[in-house]
Structure 1
Amino acid sequence: MSLPGKLLYQLWHRPIGAVRTSLAAGGPLAQRRTEAGRREMEAAARTLPLLPVRPGPPLTFHLLTGRRFWYQTAFCLWSLAHTTQRNLTPVIIDDGNLAPDQIESLRRLFPAMQVWTDAENNARLDAHLPRRSFPSLRARGDEFPLLRKLTHPHVGLTGWKLLIDSDLLFFHRPALLVDWLDNPSVPLRATDIMYTYGYPLALLNELAGQPVPELVNTGLLGLRSEEIDWDKQEYWCRTLIERQGTHYYQEQALVALMLAGRPNIAAPLSDYVTMPVPPETQECRAVMHHYVANSKAAYFQHCWRTALALGERRGES
């Protein structure tokens, strides 16, 4: 970027962008309330009440998390344990910077938890997804952590896995997820509120050779590891970048391409809500909230407190 261009960015575009971000978050006062709530949530995650041991087979959820999100992972799983009334044996996939004390805070709640370390994940990728054969996927995964939601739970492995995002809270029994984990047969995914693949639909349909599902959201993603065609994923990843560049939602585009023409279960948006808004953020009548974009304010200011209160009441009954 030229010197005039840099000055224009620093003196105009960057400040204007900051103002727009602040307004979208409700303004400076709301931003401060949101940050205060976030800090309180992180502190509360270290003292969440221990979970009772329940009869029956455990449920295994996979989560990619790290230093900035571990406390959201804790609340997500804790609310899941209370609403499913099942023991959980979560698999925590370290995104590369999960601290030992954060791991121990999670293990305090889930003693049977597995942790897949960054070194282990990279060794598995090197063995089964070598850079010389899959340069686009590997390079994109290096720079874009969300792509690891596709690679890290599945490369070199077999079996069905349900990956969930950390910024979810559960308020009522997620029967769809429990039933799927107990007897998976087709892929499962969340439903978005709008088209968010970052690439033209016509391009995705062209690459898939047929229409792709249009509202795939990977906040919930149940896949069978051995059914993923990594050669196709590499081709799609490379072609999207060559023709349209990189995009924040590229991993959702790749999943949509993979699901084209395949039976799959779409979690109903009425119960598994992506980006909840009032009055739902106050009433929490849905089974699950996925707090993306502007719903973060409600998440950090009060929704986690609602999930905590509901869980504590269930623990007392």
Structure 2
Amino acid sequence: MNKSLKQIAKSLHLGVVAYRLYYAPKGLMQKYIRRDPIKRAIDEQARQQMEAAAYQLQPIEIQSPDSPLNIHFLTGRKFWYQTCFCAYSMAVYSPSNIQPIIYDDGTLANKYIEQIKRIFPRTKIVFLNEIEERLDQYLPISKFPYLRERRANYPNMRKLTDIHIGSSGWKLVLDSDMLFFRTPTFLIDWLNSPNKPCHMVDVETSYGYSEALMKSLAEAEIPQRLNVGICGLKSDEIDWEQLEYWCRILIEKEGTHYYQEQALTAMIMAGKPCDIAPPKDYIVKPTKEEVVSQRGILHHYVADSKPWYFRHAWKQIVDRQKKPE
């Protein structure tokens, strides 16, 4: 399998330098390198404290006899504790039962699974072998070489392929690096009666590809500032052959990019009515002042907001579970 994907990658003219761009766009990496090493060390210590705190999160109790509302996460060794904090914070502020469905990114060891199941006793884990069986059945390499190569070498693509392939119905996929601070009425309403895609609003349009190319492929207006931290799609309405074609043309015309999964999602939603999370409540890249004041319902901690996420935000969730009801 790995040999086949390497051969495909070579035929697509994708080199080591390009692969590195998937994980760290040049500008972001340079900005990180320029950061004060002392601040980076403080951030890493705070991150380790957050991971340790996940082991102390109290199990989520069933709030009502209603059927649970499922939320979907791709996670593994690097992000399991962030996934737990995100799902936990949503659960404690929701009147409905929240049940995370966890998709193994290939690094979800048993010790992390044990903690996830301890905190969320009703959770479901979709293991890598099950995912790969579905991929081979519904997205074979011979027919979908670009999507399979992207999935193998660009983990963000797995939020589309691994969660939606061979499945049906509406699914709400959340990024792990988010926290809730109030009842997410918008998301709960969507989960109770989904009938159109949903997403959140980015601070700027970040797709990595020209709007003209994306528009010509999608044959519709491309939504601006779409952010996939919150992403609701109907699995059986995704046209995988179309997605393979889009993926191939994007790469042939303009190369690979870190935001390719976000670009493809924007193209899937292009020209369609969507439910859009109110940006004043569902905030991408909150400022330090917003992290401290918590005026928003949800924060998505991308780019420059990461330090405030690790140093401050998660501690508010821990403090809440310590307070008496």
Equivalent residue number for residue 121 of structure 2: 111
Structure 2 counterpart of 1:291: 301
**Aligned residue type for 1:44:** A
Kindly tell me: are residues 271 and 90 of structure 1, through their superposed partners in 2, closer, same or farther at Cα, counting changes over 3 Å? Answer: same
Q: What SS does structure 2 have at the residue aligned with 1:60?
A: strand
Amino acid of the structure 2 residue aligned with 1:40: Q
What is the CA distance between 1:21 and its match in structure 2? Answer: 1.5
Letter in 1 for 2:44: E
Residues 253-311 of structure 1: CA deviation (Å, up to 9, x unaligned): 10111111101111121111111113101111100001111111000001100122234
Where does structure 1 lack aligned partners over 5 or more consecutive residues?
A: 1-5, 7-15
Q: Kindly provide the CA deviation profile for residues 65-92 of structure 1, in whole angstroms up to 9, marking residues without a partner as x.
A: 0001000011111111101133222110
Q: Does 1:87 align with 2:78?
A: no
Distance in 2, Cα, partners of 1:144 & 1:68: 15
Report the count of equivalent residues: 299
Q: Select the residue among 32, 38, 62 that pairs with 1:21.
A: 32
Give matches, 1:161-240, under 5 Å.
161-240=171-250
CA–CA distance in 1 between the matches of 2:137 and 2:219? Answer: 30
Partner of 1:50: 59
SS of the aligned residue for 1:189 comes to strand
Specify the SS of the correspondent of 1:130.
coil
Task: Give the alignment's Cα RMSD to 1 decimal.
Answer: 1.6
Pair 1:125–1:310, CA change in 2 (3 A): same
Q: In structure 1, what is the equivalent of residue 39 of structure 2?
A: 30
Which residue in 1 is equivalent to 2:70? Answer: 60
> Displacement, 1:29?
2.3
Q: Secondary structure at the match of 1:78?
A: helix
1:153-174 CA distances to partner (integer Å, 9 max, x unpaired)?
A: 1111111110001101000000
Map 1:117-196; keep pairs closer than 5 Å.
117-196=127-206
Report the CA distance shift for 1:170/1:127 in structure 2 as closer, same or farther (over 3 A). Answer: same
Q: Does residue 72 of structure 2 align to residue 41 of structure 1? A: no
Aligned partners of 1:104 and 1:290: how far apart in 2? 26
Q: Distance in 2 between matches of 1:155 and 1:49?
A: 33
Matched residue of 1:93: which SS? strand
Identity of aligned residues (%): 44
Question: Contact 1:88 / 1:110 at 8 angstroms: preserved in 2?
Answer: no
> Would the alpha carbon gap of residues 139 and 280 (structure 1) be closer, same or farther in structure 2, given more than 3 Å must change?
same
How far residue 215 of structure 1 moved from its aligned partner, in angstroms, is 1.1
Q: Secondary structure at the match of 1:289?
A: strand
Residue matched to 1:256: 266
Change (3 A) 1:235 1:19: closer
Aligned partners of 1:186, 1:312: CA distance in 2, in Å?
38
Counterpart AA for 2:239: D
Q: Distance in 1 between matches of 2:292 and 2:119?
A: 27
Q: 2:285 aligns with which of 262, 275, 297?
A: 275
Question: C-alpha displacement at 1:211, in angstroms?
Answer: 1.3
Question: Deviations for 1:6-41, whole angstroms, at most 9, x for unmatched residues?
Answer: 9xxxxxxxxx99774244x5x222212211111111
Query: 1:273 is paired with a residue of what secondary structure?
Result: strand
Aligned to 1:9: none
Retained in 1: the 8 A contact 2:60–2:121? no
